[in-house]
Structure 1
Amino acid sequence: MWFVSEYPGWAAGTACLLAVLFVGGLVLRYRMIEAERRRFLAANAQLEKVDRMAGPAFEHLVAERMIADGFRKVRECGGAGDGGVDITAVAPGRGRYAVQCKRYSKTVGAPEVRNFLGALANTFAGHTGVLVTSGSLTKQARQEALGARTPLILVERDLLADWLLGSVSLLPARSAKAKAVRA
């Protein structure tokens, strides 16, 4: 207190310098996190690598891609007791999303889609559903997903690599190709 009362100019200058250093540190930290995210996504964007991942690693990759797409409050909740959803997120101006990840080498069948739709109707009511798979959906599963009261956004193997590379987005405003993810 003595220093502040005796040297108010120096105290104010020191406080400003500390504030600038603090904000600079935060900006630097943010840039480092973003650079690490870009490196992680680039290193894991190839389907061959996705095929070798465990389920939780695939869920983490999808969550990181969602953050890079502009989603906020991205939360990985997969595992036992997840309520049928692996990731929840908020899209600014578009509401809440619930994501089911299926790192399958085979096809995803109608029972898996029905289970996800059930989770969306009950525990995650009001969320937009997104089904991401490293495989593909059976014809019946695709019909169930697209014929639901609120159709699911589907990211199957043929679009997964493009999405992981950032060529398409789950948020339509960011990319004209995003409509392809919905079909």
Structure 2
Amino acid sequence: MDRTDVLDRVKALSLLPDGMHVTTAMVATYFKVTVKTLESVVEDHREELRASGYHVLTGTQLALFKRASGIQSRSRSLALYPRRAVLNVAMLLRDSEVARQVRVYLLDMEYLARTQPVENTVPTDTATLNARIDQRITHILGKTVVPMFNALIETSSDHRRELIALRTGVQHIERRLRQHHSRLQRLEGPREDRPRAGIMAAMDAMNGREFEEHVASLLRRDGCTNVLVRGGGRDRGIDITALTSDGRALVVQCKRFAPHLNITSPEIQKFLGAKVLHTSDIALFVATCPFTRDARNIAAESGITVVHRGLLEEWSAGAPLTVLH
């Protein structure tokens, strides 16, 4: 229930100006159901949703909330859902494809947490370290700082305006950090038009040898012949050799890293050295994670084709790899 970030990975969730809540109509729009359907779910599971933060504002509380958030409404009551309650709704809705996708993504994440091998590599890439810091800061801002400001605003009269202004600034920072983190993690998230979390979940659960065999099977599917998985400690930096359908020599390096890591320039340079020792027309570097900008630049200059996490997902789902044809 704490993995509310899943909501935005499946579909963008618009929030009220307070940056914390959504209304019944907004939740219904997100899940593509009618307001009546959502109200029926609330009626059947009201206590459970209340435990997740669902509440209804009336009277003075409603007036204060409208004033603070700038909402224009003549209604005498307003039902509010924090992100946790929206995630709770996703577990209760039966006839919503969006809710089903949220549940599937949660199951995939749980599967990964239980089966993914522990990586011993300590990330040194600056972007990776910054992403982790961004996540921690965003979590603290959303879970601690903003609620603290909300409580102060409710009880303070002398400094109410200043507190609201400060809260707005904190929420702006929180949104910017979320946007920054989303850009860094875009490759590992499912797309709304074609969510494939299951494909990558299965691949992330493989060991190194299984991943090499998976890449070899993709090469055979795309018409390659003489596909040989070399692997092991004597592979001299080349995991797979093959011939394309038109006879060109192919060498492949495979790296099964955790999604939050990156392939850095030293990895590409090492592969480049191995490529020099093997006469080849095409060199592929296939990885279950993104590549840093420096790594991509060196690869492009050296004639190495990088197959990053997003491209690997498409290739595994059936799309042909252009360089092989």
TM-score (norm 1): 0.65
- Matching residue within 292, 306, 318 for 1:138: 292
Deviation at 1:170, TM superposition (A): 4.2
Name the aligned partner's letter for residue 162 of structure 1.
E
Match of 2:253 in 1: 100
Match of 1:88 in 2: 241
Asked if 1:119 is matched to 2:274, the reply is: yes
Deviation at 1:94, TM superposition (A): 4.4
Q: Decide whether the 8 Å contact of 2:244 with 2:324 is kept in 1.
A: no
Say if 1:121 and 1:57 are closer, same or farther in 2 by CA, change over 3 A: same
Name the aligned partner's letter for residue 63 of structure 1.
A
**CA separation in 2, counterparts of 1:138 and 1:163?**
20
**Largest Rg, 1 or 2:** 2
Counterpart secondary structure, 2:246: coil
Name the aligned partner's letter for residue 168 of structure 1.
P
Which has the larger share of strand? Answer: 1
Asked if 1:50 is matched to 2:203, the reply is: yes
Q: Decide whether the 8 Å contact of 2:219 with 2:227 is kept in 1.
A: yes
Counterpart secondary structure, 1:89: strand
Match of 2:223 in 1: 70
Counterpart secondary structure, 1:163: helix
Gaps of 5+ in 2: 1-197
Name the aligned partner's letter for residue 304 of structure 2.
L
Say if 1:56 and 1:170 are closer, same or farther in 2 by CA, change over 3 A: farther
Structure showing greater relative contact order (alpha-carbon pairs closer than 8 Å, 6 or more residues apart): 1
Gaps of 5+ in 1: 1-44, 174-183
Deviation at 1:168, TM superposition (A): 2.6
**CA separation in 2, counterparts of 1:152 and 1:113?**
8
Instruction: List per-residue Cα deviations over 1:14-44 (Å, max 9, x = no partner).
Output: xxxxxxxxxxxxxxxxxxxxxxxxxxxxxxx
Aligned residues: 126
Counterpart secondary structure, 1:46: helix
RMSD over aligned Cα atoms: 1.4
**CA separation in 2, counterparts of 1:172 and 1:129?**
10
Q: Decide whether the 8 Å contact of 2:222 with 2:324 is kept in 1.
A: no
Counterpart secondary structure, 2:286: strand
Structure-to-structure mapping, 1:127-166, within 5 angstroms: 127-148=281-302, 151-166=303-318
**CA separation in 2, counterparts of 1:142 and 1:51?**
22
Name the aligned partner's letter for residue 138 of structure 1.
T
Say if 1:170 and 1:82 are closer, same or farther in 2 by CA, change over 3 A: farther
Match of 2:212 in 1: 59
